[in-house]
Structure 1
Amino acid sequence: MRITSRQGVFRVLTVAAALALPLTLVPAAAYADPAPNPAQKKLIDSITAPAVKKHLQALQSIADANDGIRAAGTSGHTASRDYVVSKLKKAGYTVTVQPFEFAYFEELSTASMERVSPNPRAFTPTPPDGSSVGEFATMSYSGSGNVTATLQNIDLTLPPGPTPSSSSSGCEASDFAGFTPGNIALLQRGTCNFIVKAQNAQAAGAVAAIIFNEGQPGRTETLRGNLGEPVSIPVVGTSFAVGEELASATTVVHLKTDTVSEFRTTYNVIADSKWGDPNKVVMAGAHLDSVTAGPGINDNGSGSAATLAVAEALGKIPTKNRLRFAWWSAEELGLLGSDFYVASLPAAEAAKIKLYLNYDMVASPNYAFKIYDGDDSDATGAPAGPPGSDEIEKLFVKYFDTLRQGHNGTDFDGRSDYGPFIAVGIPAGGLFTGAEGVKTAEEAALFGGTAGQPYDSCYHQACDTIANINDKALALNTGAIATAAVVYAFSSDLPGPDTRAAAATRRAATAGTGADIQGRAKN
């Protein structure tokens, strides 16, 4: 890509020697032109991957002491928050701990479901850690319960309709006319959100709800749905085949779920430097919470720790622009922390944020170096980011190009904390090394690793420990994060126009249909 004058020409010193040391940050990472003065260069060089690993070890120790997790609303997240806050205060930041309420969910043990009659049989469950997918799965925010009752079909479309969302099963209270309280409602995916179906079933007196997939191509597998808010009855999702089987006769089912589903309070951490123009805020962030299945050291201890190491190095350095760093909570539940923060900002304060940089999973073991596609240069998938996002992309592209390190693009698909920022027109960018997606042969040729395997085979699992960190990916991405922070901290010409005019149009263009919630997962 062409580099604009504001990015200028990058340069590298002793790169080959640096790349031979996987835990040593490239000591002469790519710099913008005009080159940083010696103090700025020294500052970038001082931010090393071993410092990041020290923070990662602390997060691992916190998880180890708190049931193996650091999820929002748990003691593990509280301890992670306190660790970050203590480091930031010592580094000289003004720290804000921002509380917000959210719907907490945890599946404590594997659910069970069996047909009691006719023809008794047990169905294969999906365990809480998601390590395998069975014939049914507990929906996020399902209530806890142990019931045996008759199934009652609710306005099913069998055989399936011609298009997705042909079924409207359970979307209207009238669908439950004649429903027998104490029965289990058998529902089909389609038309409305899962929560509407579950709440209507609960209101009709159902003791549980089973929602099966719709049946068209792409909608046959086991539903692993997200209700979005707590309900009191057990709710599970099944494949189309299981639902069709259960619907075929008068059926009695035993269903047991073991969950915690309730509202809790969690916290974002926001750190403002005491230097720079308060009307020109350069912001970077990472989510601090894990899922409830594991410690989340790559997802997203890696981005959190790298951001913290950069913040520590810059806290007492006078900069031209104001630096702001954020550690979001409840990202794993749908970007709740970053969304709350952006929604809470007065328009005048939002206008001061000139760009947002997002770092979510920067050390995946079977990594690819992915840069958010700010200009939609691939012309596929999600559109370009707000004006200025293209310039952020170019900075990261030139960083990796200068190191002769391959890279590729990744869409702004709304699956991480840049989402609320681009929705209000703030230029954004960042880095990502891949999650549960499968590495292509082309990527294996470019980055090494194993084609046909996930970027992170421990994604959202208990094995996402410090052993799940790739040191080379961590080192090079830490260099990129440090370089972007210093370049923008001292830049006289920040990316993008000072406008949010396209925000409403973009929000409309990227909005989902809202028909069903299948849960958020990274690429």
Structure 2
Amino acid sequence: MLGTFAVASPAQATSSKVNPDKLAKSVTLAGVLRHLVALQAFASLNGGTRASGSPGFDRSADYVATLMRLAGYRVTRQPFQFNFCEDTGSSFAQNSPTPTTYVDQVDYDVLDCSGDGTAAGLVVPVDLVLTTPNASSSGCEATDFTPAVNGNIALVQRGTCPFGQKAANAEAAGATGVIIMNQGNTTGPDRQDLFFGTLGNPVGIPAISVSYPMGVAFAGTANLNVTITTETIAEVRNTENVIAESRYGDPNEVVMSGAHLDSVPAGAGINDNGSGSAGILEVALQLRNVKTKNKLRFAWWGAEEANLVGSTFYINNLPAEEHAKIALYLNFDMIGSPNYTFGVYDGDDSAAEGAGPGPAGSAQIEAVFQAFFARRGEATAASDFTGRSDYGPFIATGIPAGGLFTGAEVHKTAADVALWGGVAGAQYDPCYHQKCDSLTPERDGADAALYRQLRREYRLFGNVNTFAIDTNADAVATAVATFANDTSTIPPRVVATTAARSAPAATTAHGLWLE
């Protein structure tokens, strides 16, 4: 494999200044796609997955580390342990009053780190708030649970505290299973629709999520009796981060770029996040041996899908003096979604939505990306710092951050189509967290009719939109080159703190995934 993907000759002569346009030109679509071919091969030869803790991830890490060493970077492989959780099968049915069979990932989803087994009984609502403003703390306190929960299934509402806390409290109260409904505190799909989440640590009872409307319907149905069956794996496994640093540049001004290398257990993860991993890898290879003014550091994170474990482990084990040397962090998680938007992290919170602005300097990072897309004549969308990716531990400790995101499970709107084309009503990535996030999506279970429609609109390479990933790879190159030359726009910051909700390597914060 490595023989096939040999390192090419340098993209430019060695110098102290990088030309962003020349670097972007040297980062070709073919160069990025060759890495996706390799990542698919590692999955295909190792059980169809590149999840952390699997041989497919290990081979992916070997590939990245070897190429970066051959390119002249100093490579560190940082090992750690994490909770590996996987669901291998499930069922969910209403027994009475209206027998109904529900569909996995359509009507419900098994929460990551759910217990293994079968739960049957009455559905008991727990401290629900179903009227505006839906300020729910359902299940956050042990006192929320009445004796009626014992031996039955708790229905709790998203909000205030982590999913894992709600599930653990339900288990402690004697519930045999738990259903977590969305919160319904806004009309947005992220608080109305079915959501995918993690408990952070394993619990001993089956735990699933449902949409807000389904939760309301359950709460309003007298004597609702259901059965939940989950087949899950939960164990501690070993994995690693791959960190590569340039041999040149000011060691007190580190420009860091990262992407998570792992997939979910269900598939190869070619868009999530082969796309980001391949993008930064190709940029790094084209920058080999260039004597940049500032030091470059590239990271391929492990166990992001298990709850941002790798990036949090890195930050929480970084000495304060080394933390202070990181001028900024650029994050690239899903940069080739087939039904894409061009999302740029909203460093200045100009959209006034969600989590607010990033640390001081994040607005300046956003401006570099916005200027790039403006020169290309491409519209952008403000992507909120939700905490769903590896920038989370960086911004939690005051490091300015930015990056790109082409969308996941949210559905494309007619307004989106007017800007970027594509299919309204379909997810930005219709194969998000599924087996079909591969180079052969239809063969791996994707909706064939939808993908035919997408292929009429776009040129796809498997589950990756070639225009989106090509454009975004150029944007990656432009931002890295810009800050490799000059970080003077990034203001000084305060001394490092510990990443939010830090804990042993097995658990950490994951924004919308965790609560």
TM over 0.5: yes
Say if 2:91 and 2:102, in contact at 8 Å, map to a contact too.
no
Name the residue aligned to 1:281.
254
Q: Structure 1 residues 367-376 or 475-484, which shifts more?
A: 367-376
Structure 2, unaligned runs of 5 or more? 1-10, 440-461, 502-507
Q: What amino acid maps onto 1:171 in structure 2?
A: E
Change (3 A) 1:446 1:230: same
Q: CA 1:254–1:371 in 2, change beyond 3 Å: closer, same or farther?
A: closer
Counterpart of 1:331 in 2: which secondary structure? Answer: coil
In the other structure, the counterpart of 2:282 is 309
Distance 2:341 2:139 in 1: 42
One-letter amino acid of the counterpart of residue 353, structure 1: I
Deviation at 1:281, TM superposition (A): 0.5
Q: CA RMSD in A?
A: 3.7
Aligned to 1:109: 89
Paired with 2:283 and 2:375, the residues of 1 have a C-alpha distance of 21
**Counterparts of 1:284 and 1:232 in 2: how far apart (Å)?**
38
Correspondence list, 1:280-429, <5 A: 280-429=253-402
The structure 2 residue matched to 1:62, chosen from 19, 39, 42, is 42
Residue of 73, 77, 83 corresponding to 2:57: 77
**TM-score by structure 1 length?**
0.78
Structure 1 residues 379-424: Cα deviation after superposition (integer angstroms, max 9, x where no partner): 4444332222222222222222223333343222322222221222
Secondary structure of 2:488's counterpart equals coil
Of structures 1 and 2, the larger Rg is shown by 1
**CA separation of 1:98 and 1:245: change in aligned 2, threshold 3 A:** same
Distance 2:18 2:123 in 1: 73
Using a 3 Å threshold, how does the CA distance of structure 1 residues 377 and 274 change in structure 2: closer, same or farther? same
Evaluate the alpha carbon distance shift between residue 107 and residue 395 of structure 1 in structure 2; reply closer, same or farther with a 3 A threshold. same
Percentage identity across paired residues of the two chains: 45
Q: 1:399 to 1:174 in 2, by over 3 A?
A: closer
Q: C-alpha deviations, 1:85-138, integer Å up to 9, x for none? A: 1111111121111222222211102324453xx668353141xxx3xx22x443
**In the aligned structure 2, how far is the partner of 1:377 from the partner of 1:202?**
42
Pairwise CA distance, 1:229: 0.9
Shift of 1:324: 0.2
1:481 paired residue among 466, 476, 479: 476
Alignment of 1:171-210 (within 5 A): 171-172=141-142, 175=145, 183-189=151-157, 193-203=162-172, 206=175, 208-210=176-178
**Cα distance in 2 for residues equivalent to 1:409 and 1:363:** 17
Counterparts of 1:320 and 1:308 in 2: how far apart (Å)?
20
Unaligned stretches of 5+ residues in structure 1: 1-27, 29-34, 509-513
Which amino acid counterpart does residue 310 of structure 1 have in structure 2?
A: V
Residue 494 of structure 1 and its aligned partner are, at CA, apart by 3.4
Residues matched between the structures, number: 466
Shift of 1:223: 6.9
Q: What do the CA deviations read for 1:257-300 (whole angstroms, capped 9, x no partner)?
A: 11112232221111111111111111111111112222211111
The match for 1:15 is: none
Deviation at 1:144, TM superposition (A): 1.2
1:470 matched to 2:465? The reply is yes
Alpha carbons of structure 1 residues 373 and 294: separation in structure 2 relative to 1, 3 Å: same
2:179 matched to 1:211? yes
Give the SS at the match of 2:81.
Answer: strand
Residue 81 of structure 1 deviates from its aligned partner by 1.3
Q: Is the 8 A contact 2:177 2:228 kept in 1?
A: no
Q: CA deviation at 1:164?
A: 3.1
Residue identity opposite 2:348 in structure 1: D
1:20-65 CA deviation, whole Å, 9 max, x = no partner? xxxxxxxx9xxxxxx9578x86555322121110001101111112
Point out the more displaced range, 196-205 or 60-69.
Answer: 196-205
1:217 Cα deviation after fit: 6.8
- What do the CA deviations read for 1:178-225 (whole angstroms, capped 9, x no partner)? 876xx344343366544344334444555x213353896767866755
Within a 5 Å distance, the mapping from 1:77-226 to structure 2 comes to: 77-113=57-93, 115=95, 121-126=99-104, 130=105, 133-134=106-107, 136-146=108-118, 150-151=121-122, 153=124, 156=126, 164=134, 168=138, 171-172=141-142, 175=145, 183-189=151-157, 193-203=162-172, 206=175, 208-211=176-179, 213=181, 225-226=197-198
Distance in 1 separating the partners of 2:305 and 2:25: 32
Query: Aligned in 2, Cα 1:157/1:377: closer, same or farther, shift over 3 Å?
Result: closer
In structure 1, the residue matched to 2:215 is 240
TM-score (norm 2): 0.79
* Contact map agreement 1:111 1:138 (CA 8 A) in 2: no
